[in-house]
Structure 1
Amino acid sequence: MGKQKEFYDKPLFSIINYITWLLLGGLYFILLNIPLIFFYTLTSYNASLFSIALLFICLIPFGPALGALYSTMAEIVREKDISFTSYFFNSYKTQFKSNFKLWFVELLLLTIFFVDFQYFYLNMSSSGLHIIFLILGIFVLILGLYAFPINCRFHMKLRDIVALSFYYSIKKFYITLLKIIVTLIVLFLVAKIHALLVLFIPSILCFILTIYDKPILLELEKKSSVGTLSASN
């Protein structure tokens, strides 16, 4: 028994575990986003089939899947060990409603800002109004980088999640910059690397962002321990 424990504690075994978890996370995330994959494939072959309404519908599963991935990566960061498949799908199920609600609001705002940006850019570009909607869209995306980790860890109202996301995006501005830089690098790599390696990308990104979120979540957990917040795990 001691030899078995010693084997599981070896760095090589830990590395294999992490590689497996990252691969499984990416695979499950992609499987839960088959509608989005379908949309991407469809419009890649025929750009004239692009539709904002269809894209909106295909993006709906993205939020709950992202929430489950965030929850699972956060558990790995905290505990260093996990029954990955069981934890991922349990998180997907138990947090589906809250992640869906959060994502639907974010997706709706992004869609509105995109439509407005497109309209003013194509019809009134000299007015510069399209820049306002571009900034608003980026702002919503930045809030999302904080909202999902907070939502996956604590039970609270949507407005409180948004308020905390806004607060920490400014208070921890250096973390916000790091998140933006890492996300942009990952998006660049997605366009460059082999298709098979893309399976690792969602998990790697969420894992890195979760590490950046660790001091924020610890701060919120301290508030939770004195009854200010309610932790979900």
Structure 2
Amino acid sequence: MNSPRQQEFGSGFLYQFTNRVYWLIILNLWFVIANSPLLFILLVLEPSLSNISLYYLASIPFGPALAALLYSTLKYIQENEESPTRDFIHAYKVNFKDTLKFWVPIVTFLSISIVNLQYLSQQPSTMNEMMSLALLILLFFLFLITIQLFIINAKFSFKTKDLFKLAMYSSFKQLKITTGNAAILFLFWVLLASTSDFLYLFLGSLLAYLLMLNSRKLLRSIENEFCQTNT
């Protein structure tokens, strides 16, 4: 029988905190490894439009890596199971193809939009300015929907078409959660912009943890209304 001192150590704040930090570090390490092509391109090449095809190809593995990160984070939040390596590798393998089905079209559209924005900025006119503004607004909504896509995909399995529909529907129905997730991402972007992009190497899992904590109500709502969970 465990003594009170042993029980206190095993369930105390310091023990739980160090376990959580360990889990975040290990999970973030796998996320960085899975994104090594993109990180290499970011370190080696200048952010130039002439390199956009390389950025496009290097960005494709980011989708499955993010999906695995969010899945592992959600599992830890729900089950408090500390198996970051096993969970990440399992999620990466299982969800790889399904994630690419919606991630590749998004990255393709984003790449084309960047080229178009560059062209419109080089040909200044009232019409081009209006088209640029419309495209930026469209990209903003795509950004919000993409967040929902990854969060929903972390827990549920849908056909790609249904996943897009549900992401758009839930983005507006759960507007408070959508806004909260956007605010979390914006604050992290400000942090990276004001300090160093290298923080990306250390804060990915923390960002995922905050997003999934904020999205618990959204996932419960979807589970009750539409589907069965993967787990």
Name the counterpart of 2:187: 185
Name the counterpart of 1:165: 167
Q: Secondary structure at the match of 2:82?
A: coil
1:117 is the counterpart of 2:117: yes
Against the structure 1 CA distance between its residues 105 and 116, is the aligned structure 2 distance closer, same or farther, given a 3 Å change threshold?
same
- What does 1:44-55 align with in structure 2 at a 5 Å threshold? 44=46, 50-55=50-55
Deviates more, 1:84-93 or 1:184-193: 184-193
Name the counterpart of 1:231: 229
How far off its partner does 1:193 sit?
A: 4.2
Name the counterpart of 1:76: 76
TM-score with structure 2 length normalisation? 0.90
Q: Secondary structure at the match of 1:154?
A: coil
Q: Aligned partners of 1:159, 1:124: CA distance in 2, in Å?
A: 37
How far off its partner does 1:125 sit?
A: 4.4
Q: Is the 8 A contact 1:26 1:201 kept in 2?
A: yes
Against the structure 1 CA distance between its residues 195 and 129, is the aligned structure 2 distance closer, same or farther, given a 3 Å change threshold?
closer
Q: Is the 8 A contact 1:29 1:66 kept in 2?
A: yes
Q: 1:215 aligns with which of 208, 214, 217?
A: 217
Q: 1:131 aligns with which of 127, 130, 133?
A: 133
Deviates more, 1:157-166 or 1:113-122: 113-122
Q: 1:21 aligns with which of 20, 23, 29?
A: 23
Instruction: State the percentage of identical aligned residues.
Output: 30
How far off its partner does 1:141 sit?
A: 1.3
Deviations 1:168-208 (A, max 9, x none): 11112122221111101101212344677543311111111
Gaps of 5+ in 1: none
The AA in structure 2 aligned to 1:118 is Q
Name the counterpart of 1:102: 102
The AA in structure 1 aligned to 2:228 is S
1:86 is the counterpart of 2:79: no
Q: Secondary structure at the match of 1:18?
A: helix
Residues paired across the two proteins, number = 227
Deviates more, 1:22-31 or 1:67-76: 22-31
1:41 is the counterpart of 2:70: no
The AA in structure 2 aligned to 1:21 is W
Gaps of 5+ in 2: none
Q: Is the 8 A contact 2:145 2:171 kept in 1?
A: yes
Deviates more, 1:58-67 or 1:129-138: 129-138
Q: Aligned partners of 2:198, 2:17: CA distance in 1, in Å?
A: 19
Deviations 1:130-163 (A, max 9, x none): 1111111121111111101111211111111111
Q: Aligned partners of 2:141, 2:197: CA distance in 1, in Å?
A: 30
Q: Aligned partners of 1:27, 1:203: CA distance in 2, in Å?
A: 9
How far off its partner does 1:7 sit?
A: 2.9
Runs of 4+ in 1 over 4 A off after TM superposition: 3-6, 47-50, 193-197
The AA in structure 2 aligned to 1:229 is C
Q: Aligned partners of 1:196, 1:38: CA distance in 2, in Å?
A: 12
TM-score with structure 1 length normalisation? 0.89
Q: Aligned partners of 1:125, 1:109: CA distance in 2, in Å?
A: 24
The CA RMSD measured in Å over matched residues stands at 2.0
